[in-house]
């Protein structure tokens, strides 16, 4: 599933968006896929995770995503971690940690320290090198253009 999320990240890269991709899975079936579209939509909330949560809720006809797993190439930020909790996603799997803005264990841990009456299981480091590499390549390309 993380390879599918990486394909979404690659689509973001091609659009000159920060290359983060996400996939939602329910009962073994992909129900949503998205990548960052903040620049394209001019929307600060258009993170891959937020977009995939909206699609997943639509696919299940329910905002409660019990039993759903979210695969994302980069550790979610505070906004996305909060949305995962609110949506009651059962499991989060992410690739690369985000030491600057990660809210699932790196910078903050809103998921495990939320105090909410429900929990989100977390698995980290899945295809971490691949997930980190696409981000490194994107920012290297961006920096070289500015010179």
Task: Judge whether 49 counts as a catalytic residue.
Answer: yes
User: Which one is catalytic: 8, 14, 27, 49?
Assistant: 49
- Encoded tokens for 78: 């505070």
Angstrom distance (rounded) from CA 108 to CA 140: 26
Return the ∠ at Cα 123 (arms to 120 and 126), rounded to 5°. Answer: 145
The sheet carrying 68-74 orders its strands as 29-35, 21-26, 68-74, 91-96, 121-123
Q: Give the residue numbers annotated as catalytic, written as ranges.
A: 49
């Amino acid at each position: 599933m993380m390879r599918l999320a990486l394909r979404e990240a690659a689509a973001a890269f091609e659009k000159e968006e920060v290359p983060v991709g996400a996939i939602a899975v329910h009962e073994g079936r992909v129900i949503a896929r998205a990548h960052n579209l903040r620049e394209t939509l001019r929307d600060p909330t258009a993170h891959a995770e937020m977009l995939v949560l909206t699609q997943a809720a639509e696919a299940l006809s329910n905002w409660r995503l019990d039993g759903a797993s979210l695969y994302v190439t980069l550790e979610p930020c505070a906004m996305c971690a909060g949305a995962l909790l609110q949506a009651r996603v059962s499991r989060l799997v992410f690739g690369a940690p985000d030491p600057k803005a990660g809210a699932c264990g790196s910078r903050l841990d809103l998921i495990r320290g939320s105090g909410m009456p429900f929990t989100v299981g977390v698995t980290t480091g899945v295809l971490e090198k691949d997930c980190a590499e696409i981000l490194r390549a994107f920012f290297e390309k961006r920096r070289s253009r500015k010179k």
